[in-house]
Structures are given as structure tokens and as C-alpha cells.
Amino acid sequence: MPARVDPPLALLAELTHRCPLACPYCSNPVNLERAAGELSEQDWRRVLAEAAALGVLQVHFSGGEPMARRDLLALIGEANGLGLYSNLITSGALGGAREIEAFAKAGLKHVQLSFQDFSADNGDRIAGLSGAHDRKTRFAEAVRAAGLPLTLNLVVHRQNLDGVPQMIEMALKLGARRVEIAHVQYYAWAFANRAALLPTRRQLDQATEAVEAARQRLKGVLTIDYVVPDYHGVRPKSCMSGWGRQFINIMPSGIAVPCHAAETLPGIAFPSVRTNSLSDIWHESDAFNRFRGTDWMAEPCRSCDRREIDWGGCRCQAFLLAGDAGRTDPVCTLSPDHSVVAAAVQEAEGLPPAFVYRRYSNAPTSTRPSGEPNRQRPG
């Protein structure tokens, strides 16, 4: 492990796994935490206080849908009182002007709102909830009316990627200051839907050209962050800026992980804030030190000149695709396991199967993309 570990920049507070949407790319675990197992308001207040003492600067209230928690207003106020910059990551499907005005008064600093497409019909189909797009639009208007800065989070994939130019125009119309156009990351439920979500190379190239053109045209007006899919890359991205380097994620149960998918890794005992302080978790736990720095790396990562740039890529992806969290991320073309990624990219050139939707009840259903054969994918 590194001789010195800086404090985490941000705390991702996953308050709940409850959510009204059924997104087929949901990044939450396959086995969702039920409401009875969630941390209490008092537990979260203590975690926020420990985060501030540790040196955390930002807290991102997330889920699931964080507005499913009745104590969200109180937690925003607690974070504000502790001097933490608070960001709400939401679907916008469970609230409106009254809620967002109260959040703003309590000290909320920013809202990150997800959209599934610019088109209401396709957006609702992807979200698995009729009327979701209209709810989101009204919520965005309420955010701007409350004077809060707004970021639109546009999760893109094979079945909405052609609409990137229109999504950017939608963001302008809604008054967003920033847009995050992020390709689906293939973990958990999204991995089950990978064949339905992974874009073709043609789609990716066209979308990238559209983003670059919009960046030039809207410079100084709208900031556009763009995250390309790992599977079409040459080298891996720096997942979470490196394992245990900048982020600490607290799941609804209280389990602390370096990233949202880390709990899937076998052989690692991830600590809980119910029994451990945030400081001990960050500095002392084996879980957070396991893949810190570069000492853990094997070849070709160990001698790679990018080892302190991408930090070996994603440990969860390495396990998911290569069966070993310590191996080189298979999206890297230098990885001995890269063939599994190449095969998935080749598969994406065919017709996509139906979505398997994510329900909080864990009862998946399937539907076909408009105009395509109804080929069911095993759940």
C-alpha cells in the first residue's frame, strides 16, 4: 500500500436500493437491500460527521432513488451543517417543486438528474415506467426554479445512442450547466443486458463526432463530459480514479466499498460503518488497501508506463471477465484476456435481444425494442 493515503474527496451515500424505475442497465447489486436493512437516519448522521472529520469534501446522495427516503431532507441539512458540499443524484420520478425547494433551503448545492432519452416514448420504455420522462422534465424545471445548478446524466447505449445530438439540445432547453454522457458500464444487471446495450462501432463513432462538434459549438455555454464504453477502448480508464484513492461508497446496508460493484469480489471482507469508523475503514482495512497503489500489479501492468494513470483499470471488470480481480483489466489490448472483450464487441454487430428489466421486487420482465424480433433473453 502507499506510504501515505490522502483523505477521500467524496462520499457516495447510497441511501436505498428502492427505485420506481426498472432500468435494464442498473448498476446496483443483483441482490438488492430491502428497506428493513437500510442504515437508519441516526447511522447516516454519524457517517456524515465522520466523513467531515476524515476530510471528505463532497457527499453525493444516491440510490436507488434517494428520494424514497423520508429523512433525505434531514440528511441534506446535516451535511450542510457539517460543511459538506451536497449533490443529489436522482431519477426525478418521486418529487417536484415542493421537495426541491425544501432541499435547496436545507443546503443542497447541486442536482444530477438522469434521463433515458430525449424522446418520451423511448425514455419511458428504457426506464420501464410510463410517464417517467414527463416527470423528469417537470423536476428539471423545478430545480432551475429553485436556483440550483443542474447536471443531466445521460446514460447511453445501443438503444438511445443515435439520439445524442437531440439529448444535448434537450439539456440546453432545460437549463443544465453540465451534461454527463456516460456509456453503460457492464456490471450487475447491466452485464445481463450487455448484448442489448453494447453499441456498434459505427454508432460509437457517430456519437463521438456529435459530442465533439457540440463541445466546440457550445464552449462556455454547456460543459459536456463524455465517457466512452470500456469495451471499445484500447487502454482501461482509471476506475474511480484508482481503488481507494478518492472515493468511498457506503451501501444501504452500511457496507463500505471503494466502488459500487466491489462487493461482488470474492475473498475480501468489506467492513461496515455499523461496526467500524470511517477513518479505520479508509486507512486500515484490508479491503481498501488491497488494490491501492501499484505493488499488487502483475505483468503487463507492473511495467506499463500507464500504471499510475489508469491504476490497472477496473478490478470488478477483471474478475467478471477474467475470473481474477488481480489480473489486467481485459478491456486493455495488452491483456491476455482481451479476447473476451473482442468477442462481445463482435456480438454487438448483430440484432440486440430483448431487455431484461430490473425491478425492486427482483421479478424481471422482458420486452422487445420497437420494430425488432421479440427474442427473449434468459433472466
Give the closest residue to 116 by CA, choosing from 378, 303, 358. 358
Q: Report whether 316 belongs to an annotated binding site.
A: no
Residue 120 neighbours by CB under 8 Å, 6+ apart: 133, 134
- CATH 3.40.50.2300 is the classification of domain 7-360: no
Q: 23 labelled as ligand-binding?
A: yes
Taking the C-alpha atoms of residue 298 and residue 288, their distance in angstroms, rounded to an integer, is 19
Q: Is 239 annotated as a binding residue?
A: no
d(CA 125, CA 4): 48
Q: Digits of tens for pLDDT over the chain (379 positions)?
A: 445 789 999 999 999 999 999 999 998 888 889 999 999 999 999 999 999 999 999 999 999 999 999 999 999 999 999 999 999 999 999 999 999 999 999 999 999 999 999 999 999 999 999 999 999 999 999 999 999 999 999 999 999 999 999 999 999 999 999 999 999 999 888 999 999 999 999 999 999 999 999 999 999 999 999 988 889 989 998 888 999 999 999 999 999 999 989 998 999 999 999 999 999 999 999 999 999 999 999 999 999 999 999 999 999 999 999 999 999 999 999 999 999 999 999 888 888 888 888 876 643 333 433 333 222 222 2
Residue 237's Cβ-side half-sphere holds a number of Cα atoms within 13 Å equal to: 16
Interatomic CA distance for residues 42 and 32, integer angstroms:
22
Domain ranges in the chain are 7-360
pTM: 0.91
Helices (DSSP H) in 175-314: which residue ranges? Answer: 188-192, 194-197, 201-217, 278-284, 286-289
CA distance 281 to 187: 24
The CA distance from 375 to 47, in Å, is: 46
